[in-house]
Amino acid sequence: MPELAHAADRRDAAWWVDRAVRILVLAGGLSAIVFIAGIFVFITREGAGFVFDRFDFREFFGSPRWTPTSSHNPTYGALALIAGTASVTGLAMVVSVPFSLGAAIYIGEFATGRVRETLKVLVELLAAIPSVVWGFIGLSIMNPLIIQTFDVPVGLNVLNAGVILGLMAAPIMTTIAEDALKAVPDTYREAAEAMGATRWQVTFKVVLPAARNGLVAATLLGVGRGFGETMAVLMASGHSINLPTSPFDSVRALTATIAAELGETAAGSDHYGALFTLGIFLFLVTFAINFAADVFVRGGQRKHRRRGRRPAASANP
């Protein structure tokens, strides 16, 4: 039967569109990987010269002396910068974890209808505030406030940058944590509530344990955000090299160092290479954090695999 053979082999418009879309999305997906790999290759290549010729592991991770512009004895100790970034990020998490968890639990489990929708939009708006604006708040509001309240000479310090960074990271962490709560099927809530559990008991005994992995992922992504944030930290931390011993010490962050110094170095110099080495270090740390977050999210998905709503696609913003 010739007609039947024709129908079996004829490639119609839908077939061609499908083929074209396949190629387009493949190209889009590959380009993301290519760009990331390209960035990694670039910073590695720029930093490679320094890493192989000048890099001293003990100096880099063990010395707080970062004096790359010294004419007779430049030193490249990144310990103070790492400590600066770590202390600011640590304090930021102390601020943002309770805020974002509380907000996510309220929005996801307690608020209903209009209140819930309004809050979600507001939180997303907060997440869109540019970091330079946060830095501005750190400089012009937090700075005098800290000087007055704690009677210290300088208000640009770990406390200032940590609070600013915490407030900055909280909205995105709230959004991701709320996604994790939303991925818990409603049937769980209904079953627990039908047993006579109060809303808080349902949240605490059933929803939070079920969403635990997603909540950990939200926190980790907040940590990654803190590590990578530049402008707000540059403006609020005081930008002076210090191993902090109290929240009122000024510090300098890894990212802020790169941003502030790269423009003034000669391409190819030791200083230039050292800044790219900081970049490689940052890249590896944030990569590890994001990877860990991803592992946690997948762990969470497995738990609900058998039934219920599909979990949120990915925690990567």
Dihedral sign for Cα 220, 136, 237, 40, please. Answer: positive
Span from 27-35, 55-63, 84-92, 184-192 in contact with another protein (CB under 8 A)? 184-192
Instruction: Decide if residue 107 touches another protein (CB under 8 A).
Output: no
Instruction: Decide if residue 210 touches another protein (CB under 8 A).
Output: yes
Choice between 38 and 209, CB closer to another protein: 209
What does the alpha-carbon distance between residue 218 and residue 104 come to, in Å, rounded to a whole number?
11
Question: Which runs of consecutive H residues, i.e. helices, occur in the chain?
Answer: 2-9, 13-53, 57-62, 79-105, 113-127, 131-137, 143-150, 158-182, 186-194, 199-201, 208-228, 231-236, 254-261, 270-303
Of residues 185, 183, 188, the one with CA closest to residue 202: 188
Span from 10-18, 44-52, 190-198, 259-267 in contact with another protein (CB under 8 A)? 190-198
Q: In angstroms, what is the minimal distance from the CB of 311 to another protein?
A: 12
Phi/psi zone of residue 124: left (φ > 0), alpha (ψ -120 to 50 degrees), beta? alpha
One of 1, 23, 306, 317 touching another protein (CB under 8 A): 306
What does the alpha-carbon distance between residue 70 and residue 59 come to, in Å, rounded to a whole number?
16
Instruction: Decide if residue 205 touches another protein (CB under 8 A).
Output: yes
One of 299, 303, 312, 314 touching another protein (CB under 8 A): 303
Instruction: Look up residue 106 and give its DSSP letter.
Output: I
Q: In angstroms, what is the minimal distance from the CB of 106 to another protein?
A: 16
Residue 76 phi, psi dihedral angles, 5° rounding: -125, 55
One of 98, 102, 144, 209 touching another protein (CB under 8 A): 209
Q: Which helix (H) or strand (E) holds 67?
A: strand 66-67
Instruction: Decide if residue 117 touches another protein (CB under 8 A).
Output: no
Choice between 192 and 235, CB closer to another protein: 192
Q: In angstroms, what is the minimal distance from the CB of 316 to another protein?
A: 24
Choice between 54 and 212, CB closer to another protein: 212
Instruction: Decide if residue 307 touches another protein (CB under 8 A).
Output: yes
N-terminal to C-terminal alpha carbon distance within the chain: 55
Span from 29-37, 56-64, 135-143, 205-213 in contact with another protein (CB under 8 A)? 205-213
Footprint on this chain of another protein (rule: CB under 8 A) = 112-113, 184, 187-188, 190-198, 201, 205-206, 209-210, 303-304, 306-307
